[in-house]
Amino acid sequence: MSRYPRDMRGYGPNAPDPQWPGGAKIAVQFVLNYEEGGENCVLHGDAGSEAFLSDIAGAASWPGQRHWNMESIYEYGARSGFWRLHRLFTGADIPVTIYGVASALARSPEQVAAMKAANWEIASHGLKWVEHKDMPEEDERAAIAEAVRLHTEIVGARPRGWYTGRCSANTVRLVAEEAGFDYISDTYDDDLPYWLEVGERDQLIIPYTLEANDMRFATAPGYITGEQFFTYLKDAFDTLYAEGEAGAAKMMSIGLHCRLIGRPGKLAGLKRFLDYIQGFEGVWTPRRIDIAEHWAKTHPHARWQRPSEMSREDFVAAYGGIFEHSPWIAEGAHGLELGPAHDCAAGVHNALCRVFRTASDDKRLAVLNAHPDLAGKLAAAGRLTSESTSEQASAGLDMLTDAERENFTALNTAYVEKHGFPFIIAVRDHDKASILAAFTRRIDNDTATEMNEACRQVERIAEFRLMDLLP
């Protein structure tokens, strides 16, 4: 048995209605990353200079040295870019979420005061703007705790949201275990918030973005002009807004950096986008904490027994009867590589069918013979499984006239004599008349053809049964 931890399903084909406030068709959320003064620098005790997200093409870290050009680019973000963005957003009356690196905030008290005066959310962006991927788990846990402590000291309130950015495979779990955050944003995997179960904690995740993000001005492929940034944001907005009009509202995250979008030519594209979205009705521009509070109230988490997390005994007890009287199929399915993608009807169905399809002909024939005759003696005696009883009743096979029952009995007898297994059909796809028509048509097929068709119908019956039990 193995389990695959990544979730390739998410909400599946039917995402929940977020029910944004005021019936908004889209939530457009702006994040301003404040990293200036928290980046890699020997002045900060780091091994070398910063090399990430600047206007220096092909930048590389300088081990043991200060990189004057890199430092001054970051300083531009604090000295000029921040204030340009502050004027833009306060002027548009749009609040933002700050992803604040704690050590950067400590070096920018005037900017912190302006963030607070504007009622912007100041979420945590970690202790320093450095890589976490190589940190031992205990070192990262300590860095998270120190980020919270220092942030609280500087801002006057602890952060309620967290985004590392340069995270490790352990980061989300460690931040969730810290147990003080309303949301974590170190994922890029959805257009809506979702809940993540971490031990006993139900942690809200609000996914972020690296594509509707001005970091693309500093990476390849990327943006060259503000107009390109505007065009991309506009196209994303238009697509999501149309989905919202069709009843499938989503969230649009936009990531910004003081030293990047804060440059005049780049900012022009952002300003154009703000002007553009203000021409639409039903656009909500919240802080991330506003989204978190709304989601927790509107879509509180409810735990349930997930198939991929069941013991073998529980899994077989739940799904051993999906293929009629054949619990060995569920036993085999439980041993496959299951994961969150299997925690739904389609997922369990696929796992069960894999075992059924790869079984020997004799085993598959035994599954076919485990199925009762349609409207046969077992039905008359009330000895069908509850699933078969319900299925036959759904097509009216429990309410046959004497003539119809005689016809079914004759067809059943002839079919079994010819093919060696009962006639099987997913009755929920049919009514009484179409079942009889299929019976009459299929009885003349060769046995190999009927074996394949019967197996396909068994899988279809299993699919219906699972849809009664699972999302």
Residue 43 in contact with residue 103, Cβ under 8 Å?
no
Whole-angstrom distance between the N-terminal and C-terminal Cα of the chain? 23
Structure tokens at 245: 């009009």
Determine the 3-state secondary structure of 117 from DSSP: helix
In 395-446, where does DSSP find H-type helix? Answer: 402-419, 432-442
Structure tokens at 430: 């049919």
| Nearest residue to 39 via CA among 99, 104, 134 | 104
Q: Any idea what DSSP says for residue 22? A: G
Tokens 């995740």 locate to: 205
Instruction: Give the largest CA-CA distance in the chain.
Output: 95
Structure tokens at 78: 């604090």
Neighbouring residues of 105: CB distance < 8 A, sequence distance ≥ 6: 34, 38, 111, 112, 122, 151, 154, 155
d(CA 308, CA 5): 10
| Nearest residue to 15 via CA among 206, 184, 243, 350 | 243
d(CA 11, CA 7): 10
Q: Catalytic pick from 151, 371, 419, 430?
A: 371
Whether 371 is catalytic:
yes
Looking only at the bridges linking them, the beta strands covering 194-198 and 201-205 are: antiparallel
d(CA 107, CA 215): 23
- Tell me which residues are annotated as active site: 371
